[in-house]
């Protein structure tokens, strides 16, 4: 037996357990929700987009908007994934939801959004941005360096192609070295 095999046996067995209460895989979204609370996100959306659902509706427009916005921040690309993000027990307690609607319900809420509502929501985004900049100025931080030096980080993807396709060249391709690819 080698030394490495002997060392493996000497290591104690570690039992991994995930049974603690209040654990979440979406801990990175907690500061996002706190920030949204400080910006009065729900109140601003409710004031701006005045769409009321029926008296028996469990979720209003503002709930759907918040679910989708936080879902997009978490990387969701569909309503099913938005529901998956919000199905986390810890996460849904923060806004005070006991249950999360199914994806089709969120879709129905989003279908209520009209082009005029989108314009109004865009206005909210601008007001939020102004509010954040005002807080930064009041805090005493100098904005000169933030305004003078701007960095734009642009990443591109390599799409490998087969055969002799127009515009494809052999170049950097980490997956298949030497293969022709498009690299914008």
Question: Domains in the chain: how many in total?
Answer: 2
Question: Would you state the pLDDT for residue 58?
Answer: 84
Q: Is residue 133 situated within a structural domain?
A: no
Q: Is 6 among the domain residues? A: no
The token duo for 162 is 């087969």
Residue 4 predicted with pLDDT over 60? no
- DSSP type of residue 20: -
Instruction: Say which residue the tokens 């994806």 belong to.
Output: 103
- Kindly report, residue by residue over 44-82, the tens digit of the pLDDT: 999 988 888 878 888 888 899 999 999 999 999 999 999
Contact 95, 89 (CB under 8 A): no
**CA separation for the pair 1, 114 (Å, rounded):** 72
Q: Is residue 52 part of a domain?
A: yes
- Which range marks the domain in which residue 157 is found? 151-184
Cα–Cα separations (whole angstroms), residue 129 to 123, 126, 166: 10, 5, 44
Rounded distance, CA 93 to CA 140, Å?
35
Q: Is the pLDDT of residue 153 over 90?
A: no
* Model pTM above 0.85: no
Instruction: List CB contacts of 61: < 8 A, sequence separation 6 or more.
Output: 45, 46, 49, 51, 52, 53, 109, 112, 113
Question: CA–CA separation, 52 vs 95, rounded Å?
Answer: 19
Report if residue 179 sits inside a domain: yes
Residues 39 and 111 in one domain: yes
Q: Identify the residue with better confidence: 157 or 11.
A: 157
């Amino acid at each position: 037996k080698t030394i490495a095999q002997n060392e493996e046996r000497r290591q104690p067995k570690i039992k991994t357990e995930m049974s603690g209460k209040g654990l979440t895989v979406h801990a990175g979204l907690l500061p996002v929700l706190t920030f949204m609370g400080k910006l009065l996100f729900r109140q601003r959306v409710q004031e701006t987009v005045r769409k009321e659902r029926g008296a028996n509706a469990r979720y209003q427009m503002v709930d759907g908007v918040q679910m989708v916005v936080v879902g997009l921040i978490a990387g969701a690309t569909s309503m099913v994934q938005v529901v998956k993000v919000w199905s986390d027990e810890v996460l849904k307690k923060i806004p005070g939801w006991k249950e999360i609607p199914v994806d089709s319900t969120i879709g129905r809420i989003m279908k209520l959004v009209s082009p005029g509502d989108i314009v109004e929501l865009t206005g909210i985004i601008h007001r939020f941005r102004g509010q954040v900049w005002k807080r930064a100025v009041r805090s005493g931080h100098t904005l000169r360096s933030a305004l003078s030096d701007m960095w734009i980080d642009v990443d591109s993807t390599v799409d490998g192609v087969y055969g002799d396709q127009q515009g494809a060249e052999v170049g950097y391709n980490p997956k298949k070295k030497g293969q022709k690819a498009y690299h914008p």
